[in-house]
Amino acid sequence: MSDQLSLQRLTWVLRNDVMRSYRSTLVISGTAALVALVVSLSVAYDGEVGQGPLFYRAFFIAALFAWGTLATSEAFSDLHGRGSNASFLLLPASALEKTLSRLLIYTVGLIVYLLAFTVALSWVLEGINTLWIGERRELFSPFDSLAWSLVPHFLVAQSLFFLGAAWFRKVHFIKTVGAAIALTAGLCAIAAGLAWLVGPMACVNAECYEFPLFDWVTDAAPVAYFYLLPPFCWFVAWLRVTETQVSHGI
């Protein structure tokens, strides 16, 4: 097990990945804060900042899904880049450790960072609003119930883009979106076909019967969506990274 997973090696890989991406994180954070400041001041210019945490909820959710999916789609850009893949493949760590490092950064790391960033941003912007018009919004809470209720949906979306980042060599985001749409359309077509085939059989001699199978599918769908799909995508992404290292003789 130590050949595949070592906490010491994983820590060093995490440190290396954080150092590789911190500059782009700071640039995006500054841009997002500037946009939020402009919007906040434009609203406060009319003398009304609004009530409730809606402003920062919307900011956090937009940043989580927009920034989170875009950043995740580039999680393995150095694996596929001609000038950077050698550094990734020759890094003294297993494929599992490299995959876990990127997974932790773009799930736990991203969520915690955005929560802390949104809290800090709310303090700064509402301090400005207090000085500007003498009013302020409700500050963002890192335990906001609506924000946390959407985190499981983000993990599902993140897992798809994480797999796309490892699987596709170029334009990862667009290809992942296209693959997700095609897969969804295919599943809907299969479901519609089954419903069309089974539907006429449900009524015999003017008597209709219920099929408990459909109730089982309805109950199983959320379980598959929240608890099976993300681990499956992360697992296949790890297999893809492992395959790439083997195919390059590592």
Average pLDDT across the chain, whole number: 84
Instruction: Please indicate whether residue 111 or residue 200 has the higher confidence score (pLDDT).
Output: 111
Question: In the chain, pLDDT over 90 holds for what percent of residues?
Answer: 50
- pTM of the predicted model over 0.75: yes
User: Which residue stretches of 135-228 are H helix?
Assistant: 145-167, 172-198, 212-223
pLDDT of residue 60: 94
185: alpha, beta or left? (left if phi > 0; alpha if psi -120 to 50): alpha
Instruction: Please indicate whether residue 191 or residue 123 has the higher confidence score (pLDDT).
Output: 123
Q: Is the pLDDT of residue 250 over 70?
A: no
Instruction: Please indicate whether residue 85 or residue 172 has the higher confidence score (pLDDT).
Output: 172
pLDDT of residue 212: 54
Per-residue pLDDT tens digits for 8-37: 999 999 999 999 889 999 999 999 999 998
E strands present in 70-147: none
**pLDDT bucket at 88, cuts 50 / 70 / 90:** confident
CA gap 171, 64 in Å, rounded:
20
On whether the CB atoms of residues 176 and 160 are closer than 8 A, the answer is: yes
Work out the burial of residue 128: count CB atoms within 10 Å of its CB; fewer than 13 is exposed, 13-18 middle, 19 or more buried. middle
On whether the CB atoms of residues 13 and 22 are closer than 8 A, the answer is: no
Q: Which residue matches tokens 């959710």?
A: 61
Per-residue pLDDT tens digits for 174-190: 999 999 999 889 878 87
**pLDDT bucket at 65, cuts 50 / 70 / 90:** very high
How many separate helices (H) and strands (E) can be counted in the chain?
Answer: 11, 2
Q: Is the pLDDT of residue 45 over 80?
A: no
CA gap 55, 52 in Å, rounded:
8
pLDDT of residue 80: 84
Per-residue pLDDT tens digits for 118-167: 999 999 998 888 887 777 788 899 998 989 999 999 999 999 999 999 99
- Range 62-89 average pLDDT: 89
Q: Which of 10-14, 60-64, 151-155, 207-211 has the lowest mean pLDDT?
A: 207-211
Per-residue pLDDT tens digits for 90-109: 888 899 999 999 999 999 99
Instruction: Please indicate whether residue 169 or residue 190 has the higher confidence score (pLDDT).
Output: 169
Cβ neighbors of 113 (< 8 A, separation 6 or more) are 25
- Range 36-41 average pLDDT: 86
Element (H, E) at 108: none
Q: Is the pLDDT of residue 231 over 90?
A: yes
CA gap 136, 85 in Å, rounded:
49
pLDDT of residue 82: 78
